[in-house]
């Protein structure tokens, strides 16, 4: 083997960082065989050097400052697994590019917020930024989309990409528990971020969706244009009623290019219970890629954890070791279009649940509001009364979110509505 | 764009070849944007120039002989979508390599039989052979395994990779039809190869498995060592009884490295009905990749057809246009180990169905044969009598295929067996 070793600077020694150390150490021979060169860690950085990490790091130089690590002359690739979209992670990534390093990152937040600028800088410097680990953990979805389906014009990209949310929804479904009960349990088990809203508010999953959308549709990454709705308002009633009709509720990301622009949504949706997305249980992730030639490809696997995330980081490292050079978002950053945001322009059937006063004409008043907003009703069920109230479930024919919102804005004026109505999109998968 | 165009010579103008023409013509701009260079077809070959193909081929030079096409000075990549593992496809691929062309092929049979020699020749000549379209149609599984999971030591690779077989088994299951009935229907619909045994005998799927195994375990492709068993002996009774116990029967390929060597099987197996493999319906393909770091990744998509297969061919073409250079089987061909074949060395539970004479002690005699062969019984069910006979269903504890075969070889001597017993592996997925 004559090629020079590829030297990594590893910023971050949390779970993922230690997973990377483990693979580099345990599979040195396998990696050299597959890439034709040795892959070594030269230097590492983390805040606390004294922490017991159950790994032999003695051969690696230590930097407390990741920016200093990024600038070292003895690394070829800056591997960023620190997290955080401002501060040190951003500065260090910029420093790495400025000093001629390739970058491998697991940092979805950083790329969702600053990906376009970083990609421009990297390409100007002749460096690559790879981020397989940033989306759907161990699933090689960035590679599948950027390379494996590169001959396709993509039609739609979908995904369940936050394992914690799917864990919560699945436990509610399977055990009949309330959102609050399962949320607390998940939080105690350490399944949620320090700020749980990153998970249950759909922000983390929205970051991932915005990265997939940029690749799929050749647009600048545009997280601010993602329509975000978390799972906090999903009740066990909705889960049960949806199941009655053959659906499951998922926090589903959908990106598609429409005649009106790029639609990006990360919202709770109903999907058929017998579809791959509907069958997805627990913390597992799933991404659905639809292209004009290939049709539909479904990828399923672990969305988090030491091994899966480190596996994805190492896939990028091995690509660089093999000499693979691909634009961050699959085409030169300067050629990425500025997307026109089109929130929920595509029509869909909607599931609607509401509580009505049980008096004559109540349902007719609601139906009138819908009809005047141009929303027609496909199915309607009235469930048992609770005191003076009745639960009503509607499935609409295809309508836009704007029409649904318009109709709902008029429900209040009917005087028959109790509490707030729920409207969830039924995504055709 | 300053890079020179990448020039393709396309051998074969059947469904897949015309799919490639369509993508190259329709997505020229998209491809140039993604790869940084134009991708053009320079010349094509097929047997009959006069055939109406519903495509404008007028800009392409025509060769009747694919070997002549492969040798042309005005092509960079030889795209082989002719099929056949001897004769013209082999000669032309060899000629392409010898004359300095990269090769993209959809030909699983060619690679299963001659992949090692072709890879050696290509690597000696500094050329690449890519074959995404040869395995599981549009699913980018070669890329996922060779690149996306390259940081893993693979544990096991599994797949339902013949859509026709899965179509037949699914229709038997869903409609209660016999194998013969569905086979005839599939044949009339043109779903089967001219020699249907390539499909239902497991040969086509076995070719694909042998290619995945070579990449996953760093071994010379070794199709002859694949344990092959087709679906022709699967009865509707087995499908029903398996379903009763919560299983589905699939023609499942499994490759894994064991302490005794490389095990490669393409045989009908039982898998849990609620697993992704068990839920797979119709002609869709599924591949399951298990690595030491990543855990389990499941890929699902169309396994055949013009669009999906052409999508996979074009992924390889775009990789070459982007400058990606990867060894045929993921590491230098000369470093691939000669696998020790270990057929069914791993133990599993087995489903066994047999018909016994309905007389006292019949079951005890069978149980004795099993016990003496070291096979213990987990579950046993006796079904309704037909005349003097009774159907008996057994699920064994874990046993090797050799032990099962040994036990079955002794059933005949009991004098209570009617017809041949059936034994199907229950694969843990």
The verdict on a CB contact (< 8 Å) between A149 and B36 is: no
Arithmetic mean of pLDDT, B72-98: 95
Chain B hits for A326, CB-CB cut-off 8 Å, are 322, 324
Q: What confidence tier does A341 reach under pLDDT thresholds 50, 70, 90?
A: confident
Nearest CA in chain A to B144: A140
Q: Is A88 in contact with A63 (CB distance < 8 Å)? A: no
Picking from B25, B131, B148 by the largest number of A CB atoms within 10 A of its own CB, the best residue to mutate is: B148
Dmax of chain B from CA atoms?
A: 85
The verdict on a CB contact (< 8 Å) between B143 and A144 is: yes
Task: Report chain B's mean pLDDT, rounded to a whole number.
Answer: 95
- For tokens 């995404």, what's the residue? B132
The verdict on a CB contact (< 8 Å) between B151 and A317 is: yes
Arithmetic mean of pLDDT, A170-175: 96
- In chain B, CATH 3.30.360.10 covers 144-302
* Per-residue pLDDT, A2: 60
Homologous superfamily, domain A6-134: NAD(P)-binding Rossmann-like Domain (3.40.50.720)
Q: What is the DSSP string of B217-268?
A: HTB---GGGSEE--STT--HHHHHHHHHTTEEEEEEEEEEEETTEEEEEEEE
ipTM of this complex prediction, to 2 decimal places: 0.96
Q: Is B147 in contact with A303 (CB distance < 8 Å)? A: no
Whether the per-residue pLDDT at A316 is higher than 90: the answer is yes
Specify whether domain B144-302 bears CATH 3.30.360.10.
yes
Tell me which residue of B324, B134, B329, B68 sits closest to A34, measured CA to CA.
Answer: B329
Arithmetic mean of pLDDT, A346-351: 94
Whether the per-residue pLDDT at B277 is higher than 60: the answer is yes
Task: Report chain A's mean pLDDT, rounded to a whole number.
Answer: 95
* Per-residue pLDDT, A339: 85
Q: Over pLDDT 70: what percentage of chain A?
A: 99
* Per-residue pLDDT, A364: 92
Whether the per-residue pLDDT at B307 is higher than 70: the answer is yes
- In chain A, CATH 3.40.50.720 covers 6-134
B294/chain A closest Cα distance in angstroms: 4
The tens digit of pLDDT for each residue in A59-98 reads 999 999 999 999 999 999 999 999 888 889 999 999 999 9
Chain A hits for B140, CB-CB cut-off 8 Å, are 143-144, 147-149, 297
Provide the annotated active-site residues of B: 208
* Per-residue pLDDT, A342: 76
Specify the 3-state DSSP secondary structure of B294: coil
* Per-residue pLDDT, A331: 98
Measured CA to CA, the distance from residue A145 to residue A157 in angstroms comes to 9
Q: Which residue has the higher pLDDT, A265 or B345?
A: A265
Arithmetic mean of pLDDT, B312-331: 98
The verdict on a CB contact (< 8 Å) between B298 and A301 is: yes
Structure tokens at B123: 């690597």
Measured CA to CA, the distance from residue B365 to residue B372 in angstroms comes to 11
Dihedral angle over CA of A34, A40, A45, A49, nearest 10? 120
Q: What confidence tier does B85 reach under pLDDT thresholds 50, 70, 90?
A: confident
- In chain B, CATH 3.30.70.260 covers 349-426
Whether the per-residue pLDDT at B2 is higher than 70: the answer is no
Give chain B's radius of gyration (CA, Å).
24
Arithmetic mean of pLDDT, A322-337: 97
The verdict on a CB contact (< 8 Å) between B138 and A315 is: no
Q: Residue A416 gets which letter from DSSP?
A: -
Q: Indicate the fold that domain A146-303 takes in CATH.
A: Dihydrodipicolinate Reductase; domain 2 (3.30.360)
Q: Which residue has the higher pLDDT, B358 or A426?
A: A426
Between the alpha carbon of residue B164 and those of residues A187, B187, B304, the distances in Å are: 46, 9, 10
Nearest CA in chain A to B1: A332
B190/chain A closest Cα distance in angstroms: 21
Angle ∠(B95,B101,B106) on CA atoms, nearest 5:
80
Q: Over pLDDT 90: what percentage of chain A?
A: 89
Q: What confidence tier does B86 reach under pLDDT thresholds 50, 70, 90?
A: confident
Provide the annotated active-site residues of A: 208
* Per-residue pLDDT, A397: 97
Whether the per-residue pLDDT at B1 is higher than 70: the answer is no
* Per-residue pLDDT, A236: 95
Whether the per-residue pLDDT at A386 is higher than 90: the answer is no
Whether the per-residue pLDDT at A286 is higher than 70: the answer is yes
Whether the per-residue pLDDT at B243 is higher than 90: the answer is yes
Spatial neighbors of A335 by CB under 8 A, at least 6 apart, are A218, B33
The tens digit of pLDDT for each residue in B126-174 reads 999 999 999 999 999 999 999 999 999 999 999 999 999 999 999 999 9
The tens digit of pLDDT for each residue in B24-41 reads 999 999 999 999 999 999
Homologous superfamily, domain A349-426: ACT domain (3.30.70.260)
The total of other beta-carbon atoms located within 10 Å of residue B99's CB is 16
Arithmetic mean of pLDDT, B254-276: 95
The verdict on a CB contact (< 8 Å) between A293 and B300 is: no
Chain A hits for B315, CB-CB cut-off 8 Å, are 147-151
């Amino acid at each position: 083997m004559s090629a020079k070793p590829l030297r990594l600077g590893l910023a971050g020694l949390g779970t993922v960082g230690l997973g990377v150390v483990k693979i580099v150490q345990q599979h040195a021979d396998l990696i050299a065989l597959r890439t034709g060169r040795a892959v070594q860690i030269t230097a590492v950085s983390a805040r606390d050097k004294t922490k017991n990490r159950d790994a032999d790091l003695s051969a690696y130089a230590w930097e407390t400052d990741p920016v200093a690590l990024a600038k070292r002359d003895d690394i070829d690739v800056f591997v960023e697994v620190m997290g955080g979209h401002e501060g040190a992670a951003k500065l260090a990534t910029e420093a790495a590019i400025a000093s001629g390093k390739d970058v491998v990152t697991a940092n979805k937040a950083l790329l969702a917020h600053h990906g376009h600028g970083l990609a421009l800088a990297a390409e100007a410097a002749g460096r690559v930024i790879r981020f397989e680990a940033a989306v759907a953990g161990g699933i090689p979805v960035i590679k599948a989309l950027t390379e494996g389906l590169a001959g396709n014009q993509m039609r739609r990209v979908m995904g369940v990409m936050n394992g914690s949310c799917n864990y919560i929804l699945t436990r509610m479904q399977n055990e009949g528990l309330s959102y609050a009960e399962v949320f607390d349990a998940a939080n105690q088990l350490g399944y949620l971020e320090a700020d749980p809203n990153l998970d249950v508010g759909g922000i983390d999953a929205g970051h991932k969706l915005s990265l997939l959308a940029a690749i799929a549709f050749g647009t600048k990454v545009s997280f601010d244009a993602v329509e975000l709705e978390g799972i906090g308002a999903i009740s066990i009633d909705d889960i049960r009623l949806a199941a009655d009709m053959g659906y499951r509720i998922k926090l589903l990301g959908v990106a598609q290019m429409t005649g009106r622009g790029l639609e990006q949504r990360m919202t709770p949706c109903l999907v058929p219970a017998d579809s791959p997305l509907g069958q997805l249980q627990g913390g597992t992730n799933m991404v659905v890629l639809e292209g004009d030639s290939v049709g539909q490809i479904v990828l399923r696997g672990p969305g988090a954890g030491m091994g899966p995330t480190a596996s994805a980081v190492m896939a990028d490292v091995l690509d660089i070791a093999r000499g693979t050079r691909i634009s961050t978002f699959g085409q030169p950053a300067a050629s990425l279009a500025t997307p026109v945001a089109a929130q929920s322009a595509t029509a869909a059937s909607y599931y609607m649940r509401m509580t009505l006063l049980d008096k004559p004409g109540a349902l007719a008043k609601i139906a009138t509001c819908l009809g005047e907003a141009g929303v027609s009703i496909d199915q309607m069920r009235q469930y048992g009364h609770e005191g003076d109230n009745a639960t009503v479930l509607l499935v609409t024919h295809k309508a836009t979110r704007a029409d649904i919102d318009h109709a709902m804005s008029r429900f209040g004026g009917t005087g028959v509505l109790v509490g707030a109505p729920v409207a969830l999109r039924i995504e055709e998968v």
